[in-house]
Structure 1
Amino acid sequence: MRATVVGLVTPHLLRVIDLANEAEKGVNVDWHVRDAVSRSMAELADQYNAATLMQALVDGLESAAGNAPRGRTAYARVLQSAATAARGMLRH
């Protein structure tokens, strides 16, 4: 079985989206988002194509934040925060 970028990144992206949905319900998820992004980037960094995978996660988070429905400000904020944190980890 051959792993694909989508197959490797999607579970990490969905984990953050689930947290963003919880934030929309009023749950404080800031620590959980930072932890999820940190763990995701660390797991992806162990792959042979780490740079591609990590960039795909950042792009996915930014796309999800940009496509957030109007009025779901907490949702969009969490996704944008996660994208910013992940992008910061790309530089290190």
Structure 2
Amino acid sequence: MKNLKTVLIPVAVLVFGVGSAFATIKAKTDKKAEIAYYFDASAPNEKCIVVGEVDCNPTSGPICTELVGGSPRVMQQFLSDTECGVTLHRN
């Protein structure tokens, strides 16, 4: 019984440590900042205007908005100078 405990405890600690490491890596990769843009139809040439990094993602959650010049703007991914792409969502 004593030999069993001396083997199981280090194995349990090792398994717990490896599992924690993978969970930490997964959490860090899930929360990735996106470079956000907003569409400005009144802009003369480039209508997809860069805002910068935001804590948003392209898949799920409430729609990501930021104040730009005092007005709330929907954040999107860049597609081209004349149009933005996918709407971003809050993490």
Give the TM-score, by structure 2 length: 0.28
Instruction: Name the one with the larger strand percent.
Output: 2
Give the greater-gyration-radius structure (CA). Answer: 2
Q: Which structure exhibits the higher relative contact order, with contacts defined as CA atoms closer than 8 Å and separated by 6 or more residues?
A: 1
